[in-house]
Amino acid sequence: MDRILVTGGTGYIGSHTVVELQQAGYEVVIIDNLSNSNRDVVDGIERITGVRPAFVEGDCTDIGTLRKLFADYPGIKGIINFAASKAVGESVHKPILYYRNNLNTLLNLLDLMEPNGVKGIVFSSSCTVYGEPDENPVTEESPIKKATSPYGNTKQISEEIITDVINSGARFKSVILRYFNPVGAHPSAEIGELPNGVPQNLIPYLTQTAIGIRKELSVFGDDYNTPDGSCIRDYINVVDLAKAHVAAVERMLQDKSEDKIEIFNLGTGNGVSVLQLINVFESATGVKVPHKIVGRRDGDIEKVWADPERANKVLGWKATSSLEDTMRSAWNWQLKLRERGVM
Ligand code: WQD
């Protein structure tokens, strides 16, 4: 049973990926500093899979912590690196925190891979590297645009760091996964997206409005050059996204590729507007979402969605969940949080 280290494994995408890794037969070790998640996510994972992953509370920016982890858990074959600060808006106000956390984490992991015989690293990147694309859908060859936030810049710089380290002759591989917009929750409603404080992302704010925690959802602009005027994104079910990570680990550990670095867009290939998504949620759940149109949000991209053909063909992976089922999973998760008195 290959052992995989998942950094940021109690986070939203990380926890869903741990579940899929375990169900694919991998042994998982999680390290997380709990800065944007909590340890009872480990219980949720165990309730789903029946297997409790090893959990280390620690900060990946401290190389001593990671050295100890590799000593305590020998034989780690692969790493999936989710551990990063990821709020676009916050990054504009706290650039040093973002560069130090996101880049030092990656540098420490890369430094420790060869001495510990790790064969590959899957890196969590983002469609923000494309900025406002000249045309949609975007492929992996679409031009990288100057980042519009320190967060986005850390993703671009991280991809360059990985490329330089591997081109320097490092004896390991990497798969870079560029996510579009992850949404939804595990169908069991045992794990899901649980942002601290007021949600920045659309779906947690939408479900908190639907359940009455928030009074009204503000739609940031309906004067864009899109059919209904609101921004368009490629909303991908988080479980589908997690499954792509298992495919990436398998491809890397089974040496299926000649290339030492591979990049994949992970999206559905469908662009959906904010107003469309509200309608899908309402029709899928029967729950109304009070909302109003307000001004545009600084830094928002008008429209971006993926061409996922390379991931479909090369990874053998495809997003299969319907947006209706995905919206229902997000709503069921919000209901479970209320049932547990979490919010
Ligand atoms: C989606 C759409 C908003 C909230 C960011 C990061 C990306 C990834 C996902 C980490 C936009 C609109 C939102 C609200 C709204 N993060 N919106 N009212 O900005 O596409 O992507 O989060 O990996 O890297 O860039 O996601 O969910 O914030 O916004 O109208 O209250 O919803 O304007 O059009 P975004 P989002």
Please give the model's pTM, rounded to 2 decimal places. Answer: 0.97
Q: Do domains 3-182+237-266 and 202-233+269-340 have the same CATH topology?
A: no
- Considering 151, 205, 224, 235, which one is annotated as catalytic? 151
User: What is the CATH T-level fold of the domain 202-233+269-340, as seen in this structure?
Assistant: UDP-galactose 4-epimerase; domain 1 (3.90.25)
Please determine, for residue 88, whether its predicted confidence score (pLDDT) is greater than 90. no
Where along the chain do its domains lie?
Answer: 3-182+237-266, 202-233+269-340
Does the pLDDT value for residue 288 go beyond 90? yes
User: Does ligand 1 have an atom closer than 6 angstroms to the CB of 302?
Assistant: no
Average pLDDT rounded to a whole number, residues 83-104:
94
Inform me whether the pLDDT recorded for 148 exceeds 90.
no
Q: Is 197 a residue whose pLDDT tops 90?
A: no
Q: Which stretch of DSSP H or E encloses residue 4?
A: strand 3-7
Give 228-240 pLDDT, tens digit per residue.
999 999 999 999 9
Q: What percent of the chain has pLDDT over 70?
A: 100
Question: pLDDT grade, residue 87 (50/70/90)?
Answer: confident
Q: Which superfamily is assigned to 3-182+237-266 in CATH?
A: NAD(P)-binding Rossmann-like Domain (3.40.50.720)
Determine the distance from the C-alpha atom of residue 86 to the mean position of all C-alpha atoms in its chain, rounded to a whole number: 9
Question: Which residue's structure tokens are 């983002």?
Answer: 126
Atom of ligand 1 nearest to the CA of 274: 32
Helix intervals (H) in the chain: 12-23, 40-49, 63-72, 88-93, 95-113, 150-167, 202-210, 238-253, 274-285, 309-310, 323-339
Q: What single-letter DSSP state applies at residue 145?
A: P
Q: Rounded mean pLDDT of 174-184? A: 98
DSSP code at position 162:
H
The partner residues of 306 in beta bridges, in order of sequence, read: 138
Listing DSSP states for 54-86 in one string gives EEEE--TT-HHHHHHHHHHSTTEEEEEE--S--
Q: Which residue has the higher pLDDT, 88 or 106?
A: 106
Ligand 1 pocket check for 88: Cβ under 6 Å: yes
Residue 82 has pLDDT above 90, yes or no: yes
300 Cβ below 6 A of ligand 1: yes
139 in contact with ligand 1, CB cutoff 6 A: no
The CA distance from 315 to 183, in Å, is 21
Q: Is the pLDDT of residue 95 over 90?
A: yes
Residue closest via CA to ligand 1's atom 1 equals: 202
Which residue puts its alpha carbon closest to atom 8 of ligand 1? 181
Mean pLDDT to the nearest integer, 82-99? 94
* Phi and psi angles of residue 56, each rounded to the nearest 5 degrees, phi first: -115, 120
